[in-house]
Amino acid sequence: VYRGSVKDFQGFDANQDAEALYNAMKGFGSDKEAILDLITSRSNKQRVEICQAYKSLYGKDLIADLKYELTGKFERLIVSLMRPPAYGDAKEIKDAISGVGTDEKCLIEILASRTNQEIHDLVAAYKDAYQRDLEADIIGDTSGHFKKMLVVLLQGAREEDDVVSEDLVEQDAKDLLEAGELKWGTDEAQFIYILGRRSRQHLRLVFDEYLKIAGKPIERSIRGELSGDFEKLMLAVVKCIRSKAEYFAERLYKAMKGLGTRDNTLIRIMVSRSEIDMLDIREVFRTKYEKSLYNMIKEDTSGEYKKALLKLCGGDDDAAGEFFPEAAQVAYRMWELSAVKVELRGTVQPAGDFNDDGDAQVLRKAMKGLGTDEGAIIEVVTKRSNAQRQQILKAYKAHYGRDLMADLKSELSGSLAKLILGLMLTPAQYDAKQLRKAVEGAGTDESVLIEIMATRNNQEIRAINEAYQEAYHKSLEDDLSSDTSGHFKRILVSLALGNRDEGQENPTQAHEDAK
């Protein structure tokens, strides 16, 4: 699922956009509003095409013209948006190590958070832009264990997430404990090797194991054993392994809280994450700081600079409906319409001490070897909410490289298999599957069609339609039409549209309808 806030502009025409930007900068002064509206509503790939079109049409460099026409923070933001991501990172690092002093926080943020491919692209872009070797420049501007870890990260050689070994997880946790808490002094090389090379999924499991054997989170040990920029770098690596969205949300908050704004940090993150995970960052920010990222930017910045940042943010999570998960949005709308608070009355609730990796391990153990521990499977699956079960599916895949649904199918049978597999599907997927079974083959199970189509709300119906199309590459409406007839077909098709009026009651209309 795409989690960026900036998407490709539909109906994009590079020549037309180039002409619009040329006109916005032609003559006395410049139309800053037109420039920010156009550039913030195009994806990075499209902006690169606009630069090429501008050069072809006018024989001029668009970035140079933007630098000439714009000033201050707004100019820095707009110009940053025009660079490809790797060249943007290269420019940030070049600025961080040029001149007197080094911006260690910038180096840490970029090198601790980028993927292998992004690191490789960055190194190539730096070489292309400055005809210099990035590793050599980093070595020349940093020192000690901080330098060593930066060089390890610059290799872009972190193991991929499908590389996970249960035995190695325990060994790595033990090695980290012995390299720090149990050692006189600290074996920094062990920290560098494990945190710099192991896959993200593997390290998440190592952190969980470390907590068990050390009785404290790995972050606390790092703070106690390491120091200075090396400590900050290792903490940033751990935070990014756990959640990049949370790491960037914290960086954004610190950039804007208190007196003054760290504009370089604000610009760098808003630009670099706008097409990757800005929606996730917004969600974490709103949860952690009880304030939307949008509103904090709005209060902390001004002018065209503010308008452009808000466009990149993509929405205000403090506005009604935007922050809530989809299911909660439905409940919220129902509450607004009826003036009665909706309270969920289900028997299954989210597990309070939920750990998706731990549950994945329990399920794997229950199905490993001869026989199957059905009791353990029932205990986990029936005591987790559907959203938590979806997380378990992903954790199982990441941990073992296997499909949990397929493993459950092979290990269970009969009614228990149907029940457990049904619980592992999302509600929409389950309803779609039941509807499909009801209409395929000889005969139609009208009672299933009636039960599902008559009881689901608009949001649920729309989700079912999407799940049906995705699973069977056919339209639910078409299958209902071809498998039923008469007035029964007409009411089913009407219900399948999910367009029931959700407005407030109208006594006059009700009287007419009754007549």
Query: What average pLDDT does the segment 407-436 reach?
Result: 91
**Confidence at 334, pLDDT banded by 50, 70, 90:** low
Q: What is the mean pLDDT of the chain?
A: 90
> Which two structure tokens, joined as six digits, stand for 356?
């998706």
Which residue has better confidence, 239 or 442? 239
Q: Which has the closest alpha carbon to 69: 30, 108, 106?
A: 30
What is the topology classification, in CATH, of domain 166-242? Answer: Annexin V; domain 1 (1.10.220)
For residue 480, the model assigns a pLDDT of 87
For residue 343, the model assigns a pLDDT of 57
Confidence check: pLDDT of 139 > 90? yes
**Confidence at 403, pLDDT banded by 50, 70, 90:** confident
Least confident of 28-42, 48-62, 458-472: 458-472
> Which two structure tokens, joined as six digits, stand for 236?
């940033």
Confidence check: pLDDT of 199 > 70? yes
pLDDT digits (tens, 9 = 90+) for 427-457: 999 999 999 888 887 678 888 889 999 999 9
Considering the four listed CATH numbers 1.10.220.10, 1.10.3210.10, 2.40.420.20, 3.20.20.140, the one that applies to the domain covering 85-155 is: 1.10.220.10
Report d(CA 143, CA 182) in Å as an integer. Answer: 26
Which residue has better confidence, 165 or 93? 93
For residue 335, the model assigns a pLDDT of 46
Confidence check: pLDDT of 71 > 50? yes
Confidence check: pLDDT of 104 > 70? yes
For residue 323, the model assigns a pLDDT of 45
Contact 179, 191 (CB under 8 A): yes
- At the top level of CATH, which class does the domain 356-424 belong to? mainly alpha
All CATH 1.10.220.10 domain ranges of the chain, comma separated, are 85-155, 166-242, 356-424, 432-497
For residue 320, the model assigns a pLDDT of 44
Least confident of 183-187, 411-415, 429-433: 183-187
Query: What average pLDDT does the segment 90-99 reach?
Result: 94
Query: What average pLDDT does the segment 124-138 reach?
Result: 97
pLDDT digits (tens, 9 = 90+) for 308-317: 999 999 999 8
> Which two structure tokens, joined as six digits, stand for 412?
């269970």
For residue 303, the model assigns a pLDDT of 96
Q: What is the DSSP letter of 237?
A: H
Most confident of 273-282, 341-350, 438-447: 273-282
Axis-axis angle for helices 72-82, 62-69 (nearest 10)? 170
Confidence check: pLDDT of 55 > 70? yes
Report d(CA 462, CA 452) in Å as an integer. Answer: 13
Confidence check: pLDDT of 82 > 60? yes
Residue 450, phi-psi category: left (phi > 0), alpha (psi -120 to 50), beta (remainder): alpha
Report d(CA 336, CA 325) in Å as an integer. Answer: 16
Confidence check: pLDDT of 123 > 80? yes
Report d(CA 34, CA 25) in Å as an integer. Answer: 10
Query: What average pLDDT does the segment 11-22 reach?
Result: 97
Query: What average pLDDT does the segment 386-415 reach?
Result: 87
Range 432-497: architecture per CATH: Orthogonal Bundle (1.10)
For residue 27, the model assigns a pLDDT of 79
For residue 481, the model assigns a pLDDT of 83
For residue 455, the model assigns a pLDDT of 93
Report d(CA 466, CA 365) in Å as an integer. Answer: 34
**Confidence at 100, pLDDT banded by 50, 70, 90:** confident
